[in-house]
Chain A
Amino acid sequence: MSVEALAEPSPVGDLVGLHRTALAVREHILAMGAGAVGTHVGGSLSAVDILVALYREVLRVRPDEPGWPDRDHFILSKGHASAALYATLAECGFFPVEELGTYGRAGGRLMAHPTPAVPGVEFATGSLGHGLALGAGLALAAKRAGRDKRVFVLMGDGELQEGSVWEAAMAAAHHELDNLTAIVDRNRLQISGSTEDRLRLEPLADKWRAFGWQTSEVDGHDFAQLVPALRTPPSAGGPAVLIADTVKGRGVRHLQHRKQSHFAKLGPEAYERAVTALRAAA
């Protein structure tokens, strides 16, 4: 065992590095939003800190060997936030940051919804309600094989309106998948408005508990909460869900809490204004 492995890691990770990476990822998202095809800006910005915490401090992955058999698995079930995932993967070394400029463009591989052609992407997502069942399958395979690996699935809150999510929630609890952690990006907005106005989710934590999940709630933008919560595996006997309280459009003041930020194709002026706001708030 190496000396490094014996050292106790900081319980909250490298806070300065986390913030630096998160800012870079948010800048990439805005740049992709200013590209030829635009992107789902609001839900990407709300997911950034969760993704950065996972990839920087929690997931056991090898950027230079994405298919490493002993890796932990991450599935971005809310595939609309591809810009956040691609930017995080690039910042963590899975592929060159320069490639982000090819987002959604012909000749490249960065489809605007994630595909496994992109290094680090496990499954194609973007049709909502698939990720949790895929994660349950990966977790089941790992448990049966006796492999010590964890599986993480990030879902949107609006996504929880898909019935297939709850099929998977039942299966994961029934099969006692205590290597599976779900995260809900609870930004409270879907494209048409508030989740509570469109199709009510609350009492959300009670729903997960009733389905047999260990349930906790965290501030989805506070690394001091996110990193320890994500590092802690579920207790033996069942899966865990973190309901991460987040803000749609997080980091760009005039986009925050606004359903209009759901998708944006930013013109040059809108892009400059957004980047300026982002850096001012950082």
Chain B
Amino acid sequence: MTTALPESDRAAYRAALVDLARADTRIWCLDSDMGGLEKQFQAELPDQYVDVGIAEANLMSIAAALASTGILPFANTMAAFASARALEQVKLDIAYHGLPVRIVATHAGFSAAHYGPTHHAQSDLAAMRTLPNMTVLTPADAYETVRLVTAAAYLPGPVYLRLGRNPIEPVYAGDDAVGTDLTIGKAVELRAGDDVTIVAAGALPVRFALEAADDLAAGGVGARVLNLHTIKPLDVAALVAAAEQTAGIVTVEDHSVLGGVGGAVAEVLAEHRPVPVRRVGIADSFCARPGTHTEQLAAAGVSTAHVVAAALSISPLCTSIWD
């Protein structure tokens, strides 16, 4: 049976949260004036809802305290605030105590687009993945969001769920999706290929990776595409296998080129299987001009074309293409 997909991952998440909370009174929604949760959640489940105000530090500390009593709080804010303004509360009150708070961070990467750096979150993966005990999830579409939220609801420790803002194309379509193994910590191979591997995380990066794989295939290059929906714990086995079986790795992310997906992959491969790595990510700069999400990413170095160029720059491929 196929159900209609919501238009954005954050809308899908909200619907999934209400479903989870209906079935389990321990699941609470903590709001920090995100807008809409009062209608979608509070109106139906007021005893499992708290608005802490526009106060993200407070949000994280209160979530930690609630979690210490057996409640399973979903703390809702934007990635920019979860990963910077309230990072100390996340580090100490949540991660240090290993408490089962689900930090749901929307508007990640450049998805807040024309609002600019005040609402861009380009360092959140770097911050969150270096916190001990933290699980870090970056779903690629609405379907994957629902599956991962459901899988994460009962993890024993804290979770950072990285969501965007905008409507997104589905990666998984129709009945095919149901059979996909979506296990936290296990990368999903979206395309088979033995020449080069593209490792992507998040909605637009995964789309760019798939488009790049099509372009490369047209040129006779077989690109494997791994959807890295879990940044921590990292699927080391899939990455090492890709390094062994293909000429090198291209990483793609809606995040700074420093410290995120590219950083994590490079760290692992440098130790386990050194191969060429090309990082497609946001250049180390702020984006100060308005534009769409896609336009801003392209200006910062993240697009299908950048992925193709990076893949071709891995030397054995250059040889095969130009010979």
Interface residues in chain A, defined as those with a beta carbon under 8 Å from any beta carbon in chain B:
116, 122-124, 127, 129-130, 133-138, 140-142, 144-145, 163-164, 167-168, 170-171, 174-175
In the complex, the chain B residue whose C-beta lies closest to that of A125 is B92
Chain B residues with Cβ below 8 Å from A174 are 53
Contact A136 B65 (CB under 8 A): yes
- The one of B53, B57, B66 that contacts A141, using a Cβ cutoff of 8 Å: B66
Alpha-carbon gap, A122 to B96, bound state (A): 13
The answer to whether A167 touches B97, judged by C-beta atoms less than 8 angstroms apart, is no
Q: Return A122 CB to nearest CB of chain B, in Å.
A: 8
Distance between Cα atoms of A261 and B52 in the complex (Å): 38
* With A170-B55, A171-B53: A164-B61 Cβ-Cβ less than 8 Å: yes
- In this assembly, does B37 line the interface, its C-beta being within 8 Å of a C-beta of chain A? no
Within 8 Å by CB of A133, from B57, B69, B96, B97, lies B57
Task: For the complex, count residues of B whose C-beta is within 8 A of A.
Answer: 22
Structural contact, A130 and B58, CB atoms closer than 8 A: no
Q: How far is the CA of A263 from the CA of B93 in the complex (A)?
A: 25
Could you name 23 residue pairs across A and B whose Cβ atoms are closer than 8 Å?
A123-B65, A123-B93, A123-B97, A127-B88, A129-B57, A130-B93, A134-B61, A134-B64, A135-B65, A137-B63, A137-B64, A138-B65, A140-B62, A140-B65, A141-B65, A141-B71, A145-B69, A164-B57, A167-B52, A167-B55, A167-B58, A168-B58, A174-B53
- Residues of B near A170 (CB, < 8 A) are 53, 55
> Are B65's CB and A134's CB within 8 A?
yes
A137 touches B88 (CB 8 A): no
Chain A residues with CB under 8 A of B58: 133, 136, 164, 167-168, 171
**Are the CB atoms of B61 and A137 closer together than 8 Å?**
yes
By a CB distance below 8 angstroms, the chain B residues around A144 are 47
B68 at the interface (CB under 8 A from A): yes
Give the complex CA separation of A174 and B63 in angstroms: 17
- Total A-B pairs, Cβ < 8 A: 77
Q: Do most interface residues of chain A lie in helix, strand or loop, or is the interface mixed? A: helix
- Among B57, B66, B88, B96, the residue within 8 A (CB) of A140 is B66
A-B complex: 5 closest residue pairs judged by Cβ atoms: A137-B65, A133-B61, A137-B62, A167-B58, A167-B55
Chain A positions within 8 Å of B66 at CB level: 137, 140-141
Question: What is the CA–CA distance of A140 and B65 in the complex, to the nearest angstrom?
Answer: 9
* Minimal beta-carbon separation of B201 from chain A (angstroms): 31
Known contacts A133-B89, A137-B64, A138-B68, then 17 further A-B pairs from the complex at CB < 8 Å, ordered by chain A residue: A130-B92, A133-B57, A133-B58, A134-B62, A134-B65, A134-B93, A135-B65, A136-B61, A136-B62, A137-B62, A137-B63, A137-B65, A141-B66, A168-B58, A168-B61, A170-B53, A171-B55
Indicate if B50 sits at the interface (CB-CB under 8 A): yes
When the two chains form their complex, are residues A140 and B50 in contact, meaning their CB atoms are under 8 A apart?
Answer: yes
Binary contact track B74-111/A, C-beta < 8 Å → 1, others 0: 00000000000000110011001100000000000000
Binding site for A on B (CB under 8 A): 47, 50, 52-53, 55, 57-58, 61-66, 68-69, 71, 88-89, 92-93, 96-97
The residue from B52, B53, B69 contacting A138, defined by CB atoms under 8 A apart:
B69
B-chain residues with CB within 8 Å of residue A133 when the two chains form the complex: 57-58, 61-62, 65, 89, 93
Give the Cβ gap from A130 to chain B, nearest Cβ, in Å. Answer: 6
Query: Hey, which chain B residues are within 8 Å of A164, CB to CB?
Result: 57-58, 61, 89
* Closest beta carbon of chain A to B290's beta carbon, Å: 31
Residues of B contacting A124 in the complex (Cβ-Cβ under 8 angstroms): 92, 96-97
Chain A residues with Cβ below 8 Å from B52 are: 167, 171
For A141, what are the chain B residues with a Cβ–Cβ distance below 8 Å? 65-66, 69, 71
Kindly provide the distance from the CB of B91 to the nearest chain A CB, expressed in whole angstroms: 9
On whether the beta carbons of B57 and A175 are closer than 8 Å, the reply is no
Alpha-carbon distance A170/B58, docked complex (angstroms): 10
Q: How far is the CB of B188 from chain A (nearest CB, A)?
A: 36
Nearest CB of A to B98, in Å: 10
Residue of B nearest to A163 (CB): B57
Q: Which B residues touch A163, using CB under 8 A?
A: 57
* Chain B min CB distance to A120 (Å): 14
Question: Contact between A127 and B92 (Cβ–Cβ < 8 Å)?
Answer: yes
Q: How distant is the Cα of A202 from the Cα of B88 in the complex, in angstroms?
A: 28
- Which residues on B sit within 8 Å (CB–CB) of A135? 65
Q: Compute how far the CA of A167 lies from the CA of B62 in the bound complex, rounded to whole angstroms.
A: 11
